Structure 1
Amino acid sequence: MSDSEIVRYELDGEVAVITLNRPEKRNAVSDRLIRALADAVTRAQTEAKAAVICGAGKHFCAGLDLGEHVKRTPIEGVHHSRGWHAVFETIEAGRIPFFSALHGAVVGGGLELAAATHIRVADATTFFALPEGTRGIFVGGGGSVRVGRLTGVARMTDMMLTGRTVSAEQGEQWNLCQYVVGAGEAKSFAIDLARKAAQNAEMSNYAIIHALPRVEDMSRADGLFLESFVASMAASSPEAEERLNAFLDKTAARLSHPST
């Protein structure tokens, strides 16, 4: 299987759809897959306004390919982990928002990948797990930072120490995902969300995915100070002026209660 087959890439209008395509291995992340994913993510940044990552077969991603990992020396393990960090950082801190469509196993490195995306949609078949403790290893794809911040250190510790699995519904309560939909509906739902985000002002999307994580790391005063600068810069763009005038002229769509 070529790199273009192990990770499929499709441009659907302004949305790039990136599919992990190793279903016979539950989309476990091999060295070839991570390299192909890096290429697809880089491509999406150049030609799309939003992107969706999903998995072929019955599972999103069952994590690290342990058959490759068991053969690594300690220094090779460090370089391997840092390689994952680079790819996932490009997803989290790139030019466009990324959505993930989750189903089946979202385990170990699969959860680390999902955590690097900005919006996570899980269908009813989804289950989350971090079984590294039972495997004698430790998270290496950024999970100690991203997953810990999403769900809290205590819950992440529980998952890693006990091998606990978490359902989609529990995962939403724990902030592992933001949406739960019916079985088989995650991909289409995530693409619809990505299409909506692609219609936003490019500067607004960039500010949202870059400023908010930094504000979280700052003191209250520093966060408020940065917010003022980002708000001023975003509002001064020509696109912002056009959109604000459309709102004032009552030609822009109005918000409504979610029940309608």
Structure 2
Amino acid sequence: MDISPSLVTYALQEDIALIGLNRPAKRNAISDRVVEALHLAVERAQTEAKAAVLHGTGTHFCAGLDLAEHVEKPLIAAVQGSRRWHRIFDGIERGGIPFVVALQGAVVGGGFELAAAAHVRVADETAFFGLPEGTRGIFVGGGGSVRIARLIGAQRMGDMMLTGRTVAPVQMEQWGGVSYVVPAGQALEKAIELAKAAAQNAPMSNYAILNALPRIRDMSSEDGLFVESLMSSLTSVTPEATERLRAFLEKRVAKLEAPK
């Protein structure tokens, strides 16, 4: 099935896949067709890119679930739809390449859940974060109760859901929900810059970071430390790791410096 550019755009910029939600008139609300188009784009990116950037066209990233579609669903279809979101978003979080998300305007409900599935979040100064499910009489269904709660804490997430408050990007950065805050209009540029940096890493290191870290987080401390030892050993014996370590020892690459 081809990706529908009327719902999700896809472009390859060198080895970076650019995936854009493309319903600006609906503030990029996510319908069933959108999530399936997103799935196709994510799967394609895994096969031909070394990193990917998620973004929204227009002035908003994503206002969340398409409520007009959701309100008509029978109970079983709603459950199945939520589980479909889980599987597709999990393909982002625990796939084979890093995903950086550029955020502007509304990052609300399911849009926040989608952003939480990415590995690095960049918000510009126009972004605002909301979880209005409590005021809508519903509950998060795209993985937010796990991903967002782990980013900012269950108490803060519960506050947002109970009160319907919105949160500015600087506050969200302090809470741990985003990693970078940039001037208005610069989120996509910064996200691409970060994706290019991640794409330079050894593929096995990136794979371990994406897939081992979230699993270690879910383990006991002792089990996590054991898996860490295995992953540390596996990544260090690859030919690429050997060459990169040798380059560092031979001073062919620069040492880390303090941030400017």
TM-score range, shorter chain: over 0.9
Match of 1:24 in 2: 25
Q: Residue deviations 1:67-115, cap 9 Å, x none?
A: 0000001001001111111110100011111110000000000000000
User: Equivalent residue of 1:3, what SS?
Assistant: coil
Distance 2:254 2:45 in 1: 28
**Does residue 146 in structure 1 map to residue 147 in structure 2?**
yes
How far apart, CA to CA, are the structure 1 residues paired with 2:130 and 2:214?
24
Question: Is the 8 Å Cα contact of residues 122 and 179 (structure 1) preserved in structure 2?
Answer: yes
CA contact (8 A) 2:16 2:53 kept: yes
Partner in structure 2 of residue 117 of structure 1: 118
Q: How does 1:68-83 map to 2 (within 5 A)?
A: 68-83=69-84
| Equivalent pair of 1:29/1:64 in contact (CA under 8 Å) | yes
Letter of the 2:216 partner, please give it: V
Aligned counterpart, 2:40: 39
Aligned twin of 1:63: 64
Amino acid at match of 1:89: D
Q: Distance in 2 between matches of 1:39 and 1:244?
A: 36
Mapping 1:227-242, distance limit 5 Å = 227-242=228-243
Partner of 2:162: 161
Asked if the contact 2:104/2:123 (under 8 Å) is kept, the reply is: yes
- The range that moved more, 126-135 or 213-222, is 213-222
Percentage identity across aligned positions?
Answer: 62
Matched, 1:203 2:221: no
Instruction: State the SS of the aligned residue for 1:5.
Output: coil
- Tell me the distance in 1 between the aligned counterparts of 2:136 and 2:222: 43
Q: C-alpha separation between the residues in 1 aligned to 2:23 and 2:252?
A: 47
Contact 1:84 1:141 in 2 (8 A): yes
Counterparts of 1:246 and 1:115, CA distance in 2? 35
Residues paired across the two proteins, number:
258
Find the counterpart in structure 1 of residue 185 from structure 2. 184
Secondary structure of the residue that 2:159 maps to in structure 1? helix
Question: Who is 2:107 aligned against?
Answer: 106
Cα distance in structure 2, aligned partners of 1:231 and 1:54:
33
Kept in 2, the 8 Å contact 1:62–1:107? The answer is yes
One-letter code of the match for 1:117? A
Cα distance in structure 2, aligned partners of 1:206 and 1:252: 23
Q: How far off its partner does 1:252 sit?
A: 1.1
Q: Which TM-score applies when normalising by structure 1?
A: 0.98
How far apart are residue 253 of structure 1 and its match?
Answer: 2.4
Per-residue Cα deviation, 1:21-67 (whole angstroms, up to 9, x for no partner): 10000000011111110000000000001000000001000000000
| 1:224 pairs with 2:206 | no
SS at match of 2:25: helix
Long gaps (5+) in structure 1: none
Contact residue 23 and residue 56 of structure 1 kept, 8 A: yes
TM-score (norm 2): 0.98
> Per-residue displacement from partner, 1:121-169 (whole Å, max 9, x unpaired)?
0000011000000001110000011011111110011000000100000
CA contact (8 A) 1:50 1:198 kept: yes
8 Å CA contact retained: 2:51, 2:97:
yes
- Return the alpha-carbon distance in structure 2 between the equivalents of residues 201 and 86 of structure 1: 26
SS in 2 for 1:28: coil
Structure 1: distance between partners of 2:43 and 2:91:
8
Unaligned ranges ≥5, structure 2: none
Tell me the distance in 2 between the aligned counterparts of 1:187 and 1:254.
28
8 Å contact from structure 1 (residues 3, 32) kept in 2: no
Shift of residue 5, structure 1, vs aligned partner: 2.6
Match of 2:135 in 1: 134
For the 8 Å contact 2:5–2:22, the answer to whether it is kept is: no
